[in-house]
Amino acid sequence: MAETIIKTEKLCFEYEKNEGEEKTQVLRSLDLTVERGSFVAVLGHNGSGKSTLAKVLNLLVTPTSGKVWLFGKEINEETMTEDELYEIRRRVGMVFQNPDNQLVATIVEEDVAFGPENIGVEPSEIRRRVDEALETVGMTAFARHSPHQLSGGQKQRVAIAGILALRPEIIVFDESTAMLDPMGRREVLDTIRKLNRDNGTTILMITHYMDEAIDADRVIVLDDGRIVLDGTPREVFSHVEEVRAAGLDVPQITELTYRLGLSGTPITAEEGADAIEALITNRQERN
């Protein structure tokens, strides 16, 4: 049996914009279980609650009600010590959208060392972690460079290395490819996939790009603070109308074959090509 690494039960989050005003519900009774080592894509239109969920898991915001377990422990900010809470935050890394806001030092390797230095890791161990993290994200050659000289994708990989140096077990990527060009997106996506496959890191990847979600083991669709779809990418994208109702599109190839009335749910270009080829062959045989 796989180990449950994240669990939420009836998780709610609401806030009051102004004192006395009606409260806005951001997360509505969310039940979510994530297994260690899985790669979960989180989709949802603007304001559906994705970043709020990420912040709850990183203990940046406190749920209004409901329960959260991380690493098998129920989170309770009242009974847990600051050290315990800090340790859980370390084990859940967060990578945000804008790489420029996440880099703090003027030299790449110093930037990666910043996190472990802050938590008092031994200097020799810091060296080891920095080298390893830069290697993992393919940025070893840039260790002595200034982050300003890097492309967006490279900067984002340095930001990821900075998180890796803290040895997290879960990493939440909150639209970490949104500001990158296609090449930067690919670099970062490849890095995310590698972390999951080779290091066994549990990944929650919030994204607006449907074609990024097809790489995940599992896709969750949020709509207005609720989980409305949850399954493998193929299962989720086979519900074309439900995906649309949640304000999203299915991947382009799925859309095309859906419009052509083809059965099955192709989610990759290859599968789409096969389905269309079969359609053409079929027609030729009938003529």
Ligand X SMILES: Nc1ncnc2c1ncn2[C@@H]1O[C@H](COP(=O)(O)OP(=O)(O)OP(=O)(O)O)[C@@H](O)[C@H]1O
R_g over Cα of the chain = 21
Contact partner, 266, from ligand X, Mg ion, none, Cβ < 5-8 Å per class: none
- Tell me the CA distances in angstroms from 260 to 193, 194, 275, one per residue in order: 32, 35, 10
- CA separation for the pair 239, 171 (Å, rounded): 28
49 binds, among ligand X, Mg ion, none (CB under 5 to 8 A by kind): ligand X
Question: Shortest gap between Cβ of 228 and Mg ion (angstroms)?
Answer: 17
Q: Which does 48 bind (CB under 5 to 8 A by kind): ligand X, Mg ion, none?
A: ligand X
Among 8, 52, 176, 196, binds ligand X (CB under 6 A): 52
Q: Return the one option of Mg ion, ligand X, none that residue 44 interacts with (CB less than 5 to 8 A, by type).
A: ligand X
Q: CB 39 → ligand X: shortest distance, Å? A: 19
| Dist CA 279 CA 275 (whole Å) | 6
Q: Can residue 247 be called a binding residue for ligand X (CB under 6 A)? A: no
Count H helices and E strands in the chain, helices first: 11, 10
Q: Which is nearer to Mg ion, 50 or 157 (CB)?
A: 50
When CB distances to Mg ion are compared, the closest residue is 51
Q: Is 44 in the site for ligand X (CB under 6 A)?
A: yes
Q: What is d(CA 98, CA 22) in angstroms, rounded to the nearest whole number? A: 32
Please tell me whether residue 207 binds ligand X under the rule CB under 6 A.
no
Nearest to 42 by CA among 215, 218, 197: 218
Rounded Cα distance, 29 and 23, in Å:
15
Query: How many C-beta neighbours within 10 Å does residue 243 have?
Result: 24
- Would you tell me how many other CB atoms lie within 10 Å of the CB of residue 217? 14
**Residue 272 partner contact from Mg ion, ligand X, none using kind-dependent CB cut-offs of 5 to 8 Å:** none
List the single partner that 52 binds among ligand X, Mg ion, none, CB under 5 to 8 Å by kind. Answer: ligand X
Helix, strand, coil share (%) of the chain residues, nearest 5: 45, 25, 35
Q: How many residues bind ligand X (CB under 6 A)?
A: 10
Min. distance of Cβ 16 from ligand X in angstroms?
A: 9
Which window, 50-58, 118-126, 157-165, 249-257, contacts ligand X (CB under 6 A)?
Answer: 50-58
8-state DSSP, 100: G
Least Å distance, CB 218 to Mg ion, is 19
Smallest distance from the beta carbon of 170 to ligand X, in angstroms? 18
Task: Answer whether 174's CB lies under 8 Å from 203's CB.
Answer: no
Task: Find out whether 201 and 167 touch, Cβ atoms under 8 Å.
Answer: no
Q: Are 233 and 246 in contact (CB under 8 A)?
A: no
- Identify the residue among 5, 6, 11, 26 touching ligand X (CB under 6 A): 26
**62 vs 149, beta carbon nearer ligand X:** 62
Residues at the contact surface with ligand X, assessed by CB under 6 A: 15, 26, 44, 46-52
